[in-house]
Amino acid sequence: MSFGLMVPADFFTSTQLRRIAQQAERVGFSNLWVPEMFGRDPFITCATLLNATQTIYVGTAITNVYARDERAIKAAAYSLAESSGHRFELGLGVSNKVGNDQRGLPWVAPVKKLRSFLDRYEATELMFDHGGKKVPMYLAAHGPKLMQVAADRMDGAYVYMMPPEYSKQSKERLGSGKLHLMQPTVFETDPEVARKHARRAVSIYMPLENYHRAWREAGFADEEFANGGSDHFIDRLIAWGDQDKILERYALQRQQGVDHIIMSPVNLDVTADTTWRQLQDVITAGS
């Protein structure tokens, strides 16, 4: 099983980010993934992580296609790849209408937006010598239409916080492309405490209609993700418990077609040495 680590860079200093990258490489993570939020630039952050490491792959998961044009994204991606020995991977997404409203940008139907973006991205020529090697490109895709774009034109897709059944459907739609799962993980055996941490992790997605649609497609009724989410809803989306229980969930996702688990350790301090010993044990046992 391949393990990546989500790195929410806005919560750390540059010195801490370099240390996190080095520790992740040391304990056996294959990839670091940087989300685009409302603070640090994801490409500059990826450069920081790449420059601090030797072998680990680094990528955006995701960068918003509304935030930059196709030439800017391609130039950044291929610059990072060329300068790092081709250790950079590009994750793209359309974000959501709420995020777009904050940017003051008009909303375009996701499939139309992505196809237009990819047409121009593929047509963009770069002046510098980047070795001719293609930068792998993945799409944050919830729903059959976006997954089809990923299957037709990209190297794979991400799904965020979804149950194993949804992973199976996604892999079937994706075909030979790689399926990445962003998996919030709570290292806690007390159900009440674990679910409290899990609900905090899910809370930022609760107002977003695109997630509501995905959860309905995954078989959840609206009342299950109301008022913080039912226990059943939380338990299907979030891995929690001791190491064995967490690895059991990861293995189940793997059986459903997930190629790469992107771990987001909800209740661990990744600036603490004890955390890295715990994460190394999980990777060793799960690999």
SS (HEC) of 228-260? CCCHHHHHHHCEECCHHHHHHHHHHHHHCCCCE
Average pLDDT estimate for 180-184: 97
User: What are the tens digits of pLDDT across the range 71-116?
Assistant: 999 999 999 999 999 999 999 999 776 667 777 778 888 999 999 9
What is the residue whose two structure tokens read 């409302």? Answer: 38
What does the H/E/C string look like for 51-100? HCCCCCEEEECCEECCCCCHHHHHHHHHHHHHHCCCCEEEEEECCCHHHH
pLDDT for residue 163 is more than 80: yes
HSE, side-chain direction, 13 A CA sphere, residue 277: 3
Token readout for 100 is 């777009």
Question: Which of 45-49, 65-69, 117-121 is the least confident region?
Answer: 65-69
State residue 83's pLDDT score. Answer: 97
| Distance separating alpha carbons of residues 257 and 271, to the nearest angstrom | 32
Alpha helix stretches (DSSP H) within the chain: 14-27, 42-51, 70-83, 97-103, 110-123, 144-153, 164-174, 191-203, 209-217, 231-237, 243-255, 273-286
pLDDT for residue 1 is more than 90: no
**Sign, Cα dihedral of 213, 215, 218, 220:** negative
| 194: three-class secondary structure by DSSP | helix
Would you tell me how many other CB atoms lie within 10 Å of the CB of residue 32? 29
Q: What is the pTM (predicted TM-score) of this model?
A: 0.95
Average pLDDT estimate for 2-22: 97
How far are the Cα atoms of 26, 37, 91, 105, 116 from residue 100, in angstroms, in the given order?
Answer: 37, 12, 18, 5, 17
Look over the chain and give the mean of its residue pLDDT values, rounded to a whole number. Answer: 95
Please give the share of the chain, as a percent, with pLDDT higher than 70.
99
| Distance separating alpha carbons of residues 180 and 183, to the nearest angstrom | 9
What is the residue whose two structure tokens read 């690895």? Answer: 247
State residue 31's pLDDT score. Answer: 98
User: What are the tens digits of pLDDT across the range 104-156?
Assistant: 778 888 999 999 999 999 999 999 999 999 999 999 998 899 999 999 999 99
Q: Which domains does the chain have, with CATH numbers?
A: 2-190+242-286 (3.20.20.30)
State residue 99's pLDDT score. Answer: 67
pLDDT for residue 265 is more than 70: yes
Please give the share of the chain, as a percent, with pLDDT higher than 90.
87
249 φ/ψ sector (left φ>0, alpha ψ -120 to 50, else beta): alpha
Which residues have C-beta within 8 Å of that of residue 195, sequence separation ≥ 6?
231, 234, 235, 238, 240
Question: Which of 83-87, 93-97, 214-218, 227-231 is the least confident region?
Answer: 93-97
Q: Could you tell me which residue, 1 or 19, shows the higher pLDDT?
A: 19
What one-character DSSP code corresponds to residue 267? T
Q: How confident is the model at residue 42 (pLDDT cuts 50, 70, 90)?
A: very high
Vertex 201 angle, CA 198 and 206, to 5°: 105
Q: How confident is the model at residue 187 (pLDDT cuts 50, 70, 90)?
A: very high
